[in-house]
Structure 1
Amino acid sequence: MTTTPHLALHTLREGHGLPVLLVHGFPLDHRMWDDTAAALPSGITVLAVDLPGLGESPLGGEPPSIEAAADAVVVAARAAGIERAVVVGMSMGGYVALAAAERHADFVVALGLVDTKSTADDDAARANRLRIADAVSESRTVDAVLGMPGALLGATSKVARRGLTARLEEWIRSQRPDGVAWAQRAMAARPDRTEVLARFAGPVAVVVGEEDTLTPIEAAEHLVAAAPGATLVVVPAAGHMSAVEDAPAVANAIGDLWAVARD
């Protein structure tokens, strides 16, 4: 049985009414949302969580799972007095947001899915995740994922936003190896959740960087096709880290989702 860790929950903006809860990607933490939160309309309460074993959060229980992470996110929010939220997840955070919508439908009022997908890993991707998890565990370093900015950033950012590579490397280097390994194993074990979108009753916004090669536009279109009435926002000149590469564009999409959800 998996225990629920007490995750770190950060208030990025004070506001009122329906809050926005941001869930980060791998292998990062809540800091990836700082610029996006700052660009959201004033008056919105914006919170961001650190997933199990990442940022300031303790490691999750065994076995690692996206379901356990989703439960822990909702427990942390409810412990802070939040009973309903617009939940926005990027990449791994999107997997967690979908699991939260499936397991805690009363909590998730609206879904924002940023540079993510609903399908499970194929055999090759799953094996690669487990290989990286083993390498990180054995070396007790995050060296195996330090090269990820090259895949996370779009082609334009690598030329026009050169400082982002060092910024992402700094965030990755600050993570704990056991947390990185836990997250990889959790993602490797996740199921296909496309049907969750078909059943979800609230509004859905799908955001994808035009230059995202990890979860490309085709993956975003798959999400939109599965979710009745979902909106699609393609962020020009951005890759998998669209929320960092063009925070105002992603903030606009989240703000529009929040406006629909609160009505």
Structure 2
Amino acid sequence: MTTASDARPVPHVVRRGAGVPLLLVHGNGVDHRILLELDEVLADGWERLYVDLPGFGRTPGLPGRGGLSDLLDWLDGWVEDVVGRAPFAVVGNSMGGLLAAHLAARRGAQCLGAALLAPVVQTRHDVRTLPTAEVTRDPELLAGLDPADADEYAAVAVDQGPESWARFRRAVLPGLRAGDPQAMRRLGAAYELPAPDAAGLTGPTLVVTGRQDTIVGFADQWAWADGLARGTFAALDRAGHNVHLDQPATVAALLTAWAERVRAR
């Protein structure tokens, strides 16, 4: 479904709660369900808007090139549609973290704060600073899974086990199966966006990374976060790219403290 006026895809959005708008932006290859795991943590005082980006979940892909900068422009336009000039905050994960940081910098003081979970900082894979993989494997668990599911899970799970698998199956797998392959190929061919201007994020900013994240790492994020005026940085041990699924209790505590700072502005 697209709008008649400008052919911008109309997104699938899950809205929960009431209060200040809180936008939740997922990463590449998944959909909004990866962030629904945080809903109870963020329930107090927020209207949570979980959006499927174009080409993911139930939102049609972008027309034309469909690159990363096009996604950012689409996201900014969607925010204008649903929030206008009202204050809001944003949570972004992986690629969604990069988009959220750019959005916060673009919107300035209108964005009350940003929480970035394993955010992309370097879009070029060949220049990312990545740690050595350290994985605790569960061969018995993996042997009992569908081979395709086992491959997806084993690629990101640091401490494999039944509880970790249950979170992955609930939050990640549905989005992996729901994406538009053509839209993702177009995105991959134009996956270019500079690191956002850290100085442009004026509200409380939380950056949470995994010490064992072999997809985006943590060192590039630490160097970038040094430029934040009101930044909190955490690199969590025994956590990979899905840091909020690997260390849910610690991430929940960090998000709770961040939300309190944002509401206190």
Q: Same fold (TM over 0.5)?
A: yes
Q: 2:155 matched to 1:151? A: yes
Provide closer, same or farther for how the CA distance between residues 217 and 118 of structure 1 changes in structure 2, counting only shifts above 3 A. Answer: closer
Provide closer, same or farther for how the CA distance between residues 76 and 248 of structure 1 changes in structure 2, counting only shifts above 3 A. Answer: farther
Provide closer, same or farther for how the CA distance between residues 14 and 3 of structure 1 changes in structure 2, counting only shifts above 3 A. Answer: same
Q: 2:6 matched to 1:5? A: no
Out of 156-165 and 30-39, give the one that drifted further.
156-165
2:259 matched residue in structure 1: 258
SS at match of 1:57: coil
- For 2:22 and 2:78, the matched residues in 1 are separated by 14
1:133 matched residue in structure 2: none
1:212 matched residue in structure 2: 213
2:39 to 26, 30, 37: 37
Unaligned runs of 5+ in 1: 126-143
Provide closer, same or farther for how the CA distance between residues 217 and 256 of structure 1 changes in structure 2, counting only shifts above 3 A. Answer: same
SS at match of 1:228: coil
Instruction: Please say if residues 22 and 47 of structure 1, whose CA atoms lie closer than 8 Å, have aligned partners that are also in contact.
Output: yes
List 4+ stretches of structure 1 deviating above 6 A.
none
Per-residue deviation at 1:211?
2.3
2:142 matched residue in structure 1: none
Give the greater-gyration-radius structure (CA).
2
SS at match of 2:241: coil
Root mean square deviation, CA, Å: 3.0
Q: Give aligned-pair identity as a percent.
A: 23
What one-letter code is carried by the residue in structure 2 that aligns with 1:8? H
TM-score w.r.t. length of structure 2? 0.77
Q: 2:121 matched to 1:118? A: yes
* 1:118-140 per-position Cα deviation (integer Å, ceiling 9, x unaligned): 23315588xxxxxxxxxxxxxxx
SS at match of 2:40: helix
2:50 to 48, 51, 60: 48
- For 2:189 and 2:110, the matched residues in 1 are separated by 26
- For 1:50 and 1:261, the matched residues in 2 are separated by 24
* 1:195-254 per-position Cα deviation (integer Å, ceiling 9, x unaligned): x11332222110112322212221331232122331012334221111233334323323
Provide closer, same or farther for how the CA distance between residues 149 and 24 of structure 1 changes in structure 2, counting only shifts above 3 A. Answer: same
